A and B are shown apart, each in its own frame.
Chain A
Amino acid sequence: GAVVSQHPSRVICKSGTSVKIECRSLDFQATTMFWYRQFPKKSLMLMATSNEGSKATYEQGVEKDKFLINHASLTLSTLTVTSAHPEDSSFYICSARAGALGEKLFFGSGTQLSVL
């Protein structure tokens, strides 16, 4: 089946620094990818839609300058958490649609971000 790879799986950073998370579709092209975040024992919340070759669209309440998304190729989307603060600590996970496999949406393995 389709595989979505996410890197890194865990990252610890100091407050004020920026962190980049990568999401790759390994065996299919994804013109659209999605970024979610998940707090402990909470459900996943959609943050933004990453569109290849164009600007990302953000859900209400998500700061686009805080969470920079770049989708430079058909297999890679990146999420950069800028000037991270402890409240940004969360589990971030991406998803991508494998069009050739119908309506399936595949998720990456997630990135646990801890901001000290």
Chain B
Amino acid sequence: SQELEQSPQSLIVQEGKNLTINCTSSKTLYGLYWYKQKYGEGLIFLMMLQKGGEEKSHEKITAKLDEKKQQSSLHITASQPSHAGIYLCGADKGLGGSNYKLTFGKGTLLTVNP
């Protein structure tokens, strides 16, 4: 089965600082999703990456998928308290095509201190 390792498990930064969260897969990723979750709440879709070398940005958040499609990083520029939450990466379990069933990493808890 596909395993996703997220690092770090938790992160505390000062407001305004940049940060990076990594997601590494034991297998080639077909589709890689990034979500944000507040504890006990639903998941907010951030970005989905599919192609090797792909990079997407939304506001101050940038996600990249490496060429080998086994590692993704999420970078937040000039962090704000509103960025605080749990960041989850999820990989599509499809082997040759997407089946939309996701395996998730354990998450990275981000705290942004004002």
Contacts and interface: CB of A to CB of B under 8 A. Distances in A.
Given A44-B90, A107-B42, 11 more contacts: A6-B42, A34-B100, A44-B43, A44-B102, A46-B93, A46-B101, A46-B102, A46-B103, A49-B101, A103-B31, A103-B98
Interface string B81-114: 0000000101001000010111111110000000
A104 B45 contact: yes
A102 B33 CA distance: 13
Most chain A CB neighbours (cut-off 10 Å) among B31, B40, B93: B40
A44 B90 CA distance: 9
Contact of B100 (A42, A105, A108): A105
Interface residues of A, number: 25
B101 A106 contact: no
Q: Say what secondary structure dominates the interface of chain A.
A: strand
A112 interface: yes
A42 B88 CA distance: 11
A43 B105 contact: yes
Nearest to A33: B100
A71 to B, nearest CB: 14
6 contacts: A34-B100, A43-B106, A44-B43, A107-B42, A107-B44, A108-B42
Interface in B1-59: 31, 33, 35, 40-45, 48, 50
